[in-house]
Amino acid sequence: MNKYSVVAFLLCISIHSQKPEDVFPLDSLPYDAIINSTMGGKRMKYFGKIDLNFSQAYFENWVSGGESSFSGLIHIDYNFNYSDRNGWVWDNNLMVSLGGNKVSGSSLVKKADDRFEINSQLGKQINPLWNYAVYVNFRSQLLPGFRYSTQDGVEMKEKLSRFFSPSVIQLGLGWYYKKSSNLWFNISPLSGRGILVGSAYTRNLAPGQKYFGVENGKNYVLYLGNSISGFYKFPIMVNVSMENKFNAYVNYIQNTKNVDFELNSIIRMKINKRMSSNLIVHLLYDDDLVSDLQIRELFGLGLSVDL
């Protein structure tokens, strides 16, 4: 299956009919009652999940061959939501994902995943579903990234990135639609975007060469554009659900025909109260980072804890 088939498959799965929920009549409830109805009667709501996934393989004197390996992944997804009587809604999400693997015959532990992301949206209600909103999105990494190679039988690694370098931050004004915690999206026709990097990586760039879109001697680049982001979660079958988080950005200044997009899909399969299995497929296209479709796929069985 090629990368374009993967995109088509995910889009087909994501199109799923959902029974319409009851919408509160505009004149029958005050704003505070409308807001509380989506938050279980609470002004502040905290909730999240920790997933711990492990996989392991061991071979010794195995005729058909194989390499022993071990990999682990921790994924934290935490939310804080707030509302008040005047129709203000503030939704926040923190996502941290770290993973590594070790293969026999190699002395190096390599990254399997490294994501750090904060989303924050502050809205003023227009009606029970729509809000005027300002949003902030920050994405980066926590550990250095390397390119690995072997020279004369010796393992080599070249440092390509480091803590918070690169970092991508977006700030936008627009409208926020929220039907429930399982379905929301943000439309921002006025959205600023910045890419921040360590100056050590741009100091020796050749003329015309860029590091994650940043030119020689600089440590940031700024853009102005339009963004659409959202989240959609739905059940596939009993104890199996799918979560889709997406973001698309159109630059008004450069490459206006180019659309940067990101789709992060997670299929969660619940075995029991504590055990679960997750399939993560992450698609990313951003020609400031890499001028090709990036694909990340992870599958694991492990422990799931509600926070």
Using alpha carbons only, what angle is made at residue 172 by residues 193 and 78, rounded to the nearest 5 degrees? 90
Mean pLDDT score across all residues of the chain? 82
Q: Are 101 and 76 in contact (CB under 8 A)?
A: no
Summarize the confidence of residues 170-198 as an average pLDDT.
92
How many CA atoms are closer than 13 Å to the CA of 253, on its beta-carbon side? Answer: 9
Distance CA 157, CA 143 (A): 14
Pairing of strands 88-103, 44-57: unpaired
CB-based contacts of 106, cutoff 8 Å, min separation 6: 155
Nearest to 159 by CA among 151, 149, 167, 169: 149
61: left (phi over 0), alpha (psi -120 to 50) or beta: left
Q: Is the per-residue pLDDT at 231 higher than 60?
A: yes
How do residues 5-41 score in pLDDT, each as one tens digit?
A: 444 444 444 434 344 334 444 344 555 555 555 665 5
Q: Are 99 and 76 in contact (CB under 8 A)?
A: no
The confidence score (pLDDT) of residue 37 equals: 58
